[in-house]
């Protein structure tokens, strides 16, 4: 999640009761889109998924990532992350019936990996229908499986989530679904974590009924906001394991605070200046939590006391910066429409984890400024010392998304995923699905920017 009027407060948890989910539709074959995994003669594996304006491409084993912009039927310009212009062309081949069969990229031909895909409809809480896609590995199974637990975005995960192809190509069935109010799913979009967790429970229950899936080896894989939702869902129904990618245990309010401080720290302000800024940041949180109705008097008093401070001018693009830039009535009038609906501003994931015995691995970026994780790491390592099955793996040089970047002044430009990210994630899931704890996973490649050196799983 990003700053600038992005967070809100849910005063009441929904607590929707969920009956055992059965599939509304048994599954029709997925369409002949280009999404899928493609394996090249040298062993490279590339995942393709839909993206705004074209397709996305990611390579297992190197972290290479690119946008593919359409140049006509089955032809695309290749724009690697961080590149200013296209560096080549990608072409797809199809069988006579329209099914994609191969990807031509960089002078090589990659065969489409044979993975069974089914489009499903899952009955969710309150009678809503959730659009889903199941990707099965080759072979009869039963296979271990995971449910993809979303971040905060509104895009259709069924069409845009590429990592499921990496999982399925390595023997892990994957259920991807559109959050309520997005893509093909019904219901109203919300960021209420409890509502979202009950939706996850419904999808996981449906997955257990699918042929080829081992119901005893189903885990949840959460991303960003999913770092709050996946452990909560695992506390509501039996779950074999959880993997969290670039999430936090502290509240969304604390995420907002830490991200703003991180940005100021990157701009070279001293600890004394950061402490001053923190006073102002903390004063903004009650305003957000009240829907912009309360806290303005204290806010104005603190702003007056810091008038002229140089760090005030470097808060553009943050929630605090928005409060400084507009009159209160403007913020009150327009702010509500900018808040993510239902976001539980004060939700703290630590209580759920303290009572959890579900094996959980956290994959975190050492340079994550969208979800700074120093507090998360300290908390999880304390739980591990107490015997809880919580482990962490930190990727050097990686920002949110476990992506590497180049930096120009205050601007970070993503260049690739961390080269060990995909392989490590698959290895962690395979180990957890096999019941191994700790998973004993390690990686050795350095990151591109800062934090050079090896990382290892820390149970």
For 290-327, where are the alpha helices, taking DSSP H only? 296-305, 319-325
Work out the widest C-alpha separation in the chain, in whole angstroms.
Answer: 72
Of 316, 338, 360, the one marking the end of a domain is 338
Residue that finishes a domain, picked among 338, 355, 370:
338
CA-CA distance, 310 to 329, in Å (whole number)?
26
Q: How many domains does the chain have?
A: 2
Nearest to 158 by CA among 135, 124, 129, 137: 135
Query: Could you give the angle at the alpha carbon of 354 between the alpha carbons of 352 and 355, nearest 5°?
Result: 70
Alpha-carbon distance 22 to 225, whole Å? 26
Task: State the CATH number of the domain containing residue 54.
Answer: 2.40.128.50
Does 294 reside within a domain?
yes
CA distances 41 to 56, 92, 167, Å, are: 21, 16, 20
In a domain, 55, yes or no: yes
Whether 106 is covered by a domain: the verdict is yes
Residues 6+ apart with CB under 8 A from 238: none
Taking the CA of residue 451 as centre, how many other CA atoms within 13 Å lie in the half-sphere pointing to its CB?
A: 20
Token pair recorded at residue 457: 């799983």
Residues 6+ apart with CB under 8 A from 83: none
SS3 284: helix
323: which 2 tokens? 């409060």
Closest CA to 339 of 289, 293, 384: 289
Report the Cα 195 to chain-centroid distance in Å.
Answer: 18
Tell me, what's the pLDDT at 443?
Answer: 59
Q: Give per-residue burial for 99-115: e unless 16+ CB within 10 Å, then b.
A: ebebbbbeeeebebbeb
Are 213 and 175 a contacting pair, CB within 8 Å? no
Note down pLDDT in tens along the chain; length 459 residues.
333 222 332 222 222 222 223 333 444 433 348 999 999 999 999 999 999 879 999 999 999 999 999 999 999 999 999 998 889 999 999 999 999 999 999 889 999 999 999 999 999 999 999 999 999 999 988 999 999 999 998 999 999 999 999 999 999 999 999 999 999 999 999 999 999 999 999 999 999 999 999 999 999 999 999 999 999 999 999 999 999 999 999 999 899 899 999 989 988 999 999 999 999 999 998 888 888 888 999 999 999 999 999 999 899 888 888 889 889 888 888 877 677 788 888 899 999 999 999 999 999 999 999 999 999 999 999 999 999 999 999 999 999 999 999 988 778 999 999 999 999 999 999 999 999 998 887 654 333 333 333 333 433
Helix (H) or strand (E) holding 205: helix 193-208
**In this structure, is residue 211 part of a structural domain?**
no
Cβ–Cβ contacts within 10 Å for residue 26, how many?
A: 11
How many Å apart are CA 145 and CA 205, to the nearest integer?
A: 12
Residues 158, 132: contact at Cβ < 8 Å?
yes
Q: Confirm whether 426 is domain-assigned.
A: no
Asked whether 27 and 33 are in contact (CB, 8 A), the reply is no
Its domain, for residue 87, covers 33-112
**pTM, whole model, 2 decimals?**
0.87
Type and span of the H or E element at 202? helix 193-208
Q: For residue 14, is it within any domain?
A: no
Residue 443 is assigned to a structural domain of this protein: no
Per-residue pLDDT at 19: 29
Identify the domain boundary among 305, 338, 371. 338
pLDDT of residue 442: 64
* 180-201 CB burial, b ≥16 within 10 A, e <16: bebbbbebeebbbbbbbbbbbb
Beta bridge partners of 213: 143
In angstroms, rounded to a whole number, what is the distance separating the alpha carbons of residues 68 and 16?
A: 41
- Distance of alpha carbon 421 from alpha carbon 425, whole angstroms: 6
Give 15: exposed, middle or buried? Use CB within 10 Å, 0-12, 13-18, 19+.
exposed
CA-CA distance, 226 to 391, in Å (whole number)?
Answer: 17
194: in domain: no
Per-residue pLDDT at 440: 81
């Amino acid at each position: 999640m990003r700053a600038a009027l992005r967070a809100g407060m849910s005063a009441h948890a929904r607590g929707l009761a969920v009956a055992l989910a059965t599939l509304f539709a048994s599954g029709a074959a997925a369409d002949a889109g280009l999404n899928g995994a493609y394996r090249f003669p040298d062993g490279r594996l590339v995942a393709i998924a839909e993206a705004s304006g074209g397709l996305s491409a990611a390579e297992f084993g190197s972290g290479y990532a690119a946008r593919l912009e359409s140049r006509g039927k089955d032809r695309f310009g290749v724009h690697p992350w961080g590149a200013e212009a296209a560096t080549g062309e990608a072409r797809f081949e199809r069988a006579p019936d329209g099914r994609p069969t191969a990807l031509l990229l960089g002078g090589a031909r990659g065969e489409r990996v044979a993975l069974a895909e089914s489009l499903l409809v899952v009955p969710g809480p309150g009678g809503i229908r959730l659009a889903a896609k199941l990707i099965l590995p080759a072979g009869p199974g039963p296979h271990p499986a995971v449910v993809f637990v979303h971040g905060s975005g509104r895009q259709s995960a069924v069409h845009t989530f590429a990592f499921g192809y990496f999982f399925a190509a390595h023997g892990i069935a994957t259920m991807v679904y559109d959050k309520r109010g997005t893509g093909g799913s019904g219901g109203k979009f919300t960021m209420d974590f409890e509502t979202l967790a009950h939706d996850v429970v419904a999808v996981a229950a449906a997955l257990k009924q699918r042929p080829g899936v081992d119901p005893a080896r189903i885990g949840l894989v959460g991303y960003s906001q999913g770092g709050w939702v996946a452990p909560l869902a695992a506390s509501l129904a039996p779950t074999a394991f959880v993997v969290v990618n670039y999430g936090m245990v502290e509240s969304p309010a604390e995420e907002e605070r830490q991200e703003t401080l991180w940005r100021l720290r990157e701009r070279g302000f001293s600890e004394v200046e950061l402490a001053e800024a923190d006073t102002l940041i903390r004063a903004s949180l009650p305003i957000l939590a009240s829907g912009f109705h309360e806290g303005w008097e204290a806010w104005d008093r603190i702003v007056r006391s810091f008038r002229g401070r140089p760090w005030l001018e470097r808060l553009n693009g943050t929630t605090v910066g928005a409060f400084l830039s507009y009159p209160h009535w403007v913020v009150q009038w327009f702010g509500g429409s900018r808040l993510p609906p239902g976001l539980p501003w004060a939700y703290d994931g630590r209580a759920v984890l303290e009572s959890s015995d579900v094996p959980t691995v956290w994959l975190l970026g050492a340079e994550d400024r969208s979800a700074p994780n120093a507090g998360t790491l300290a908390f999880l390592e304390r739980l591990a010392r107490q015997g809880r099955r919580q482990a962490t793996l930190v990727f050097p040089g990686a920002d949110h998304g476990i992506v590497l970047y180049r930096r120009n002044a205050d601007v970070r430009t993503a260049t690739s995923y961390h080269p060990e990210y995909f392989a490590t994630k698959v290895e962690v899931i395979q180990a957890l699905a096999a019941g191994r704890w700790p998973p004993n996973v390690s990686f050795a490649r350095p990151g591109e920017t800062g934090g050079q050196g090896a990382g290892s799983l820390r149970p």
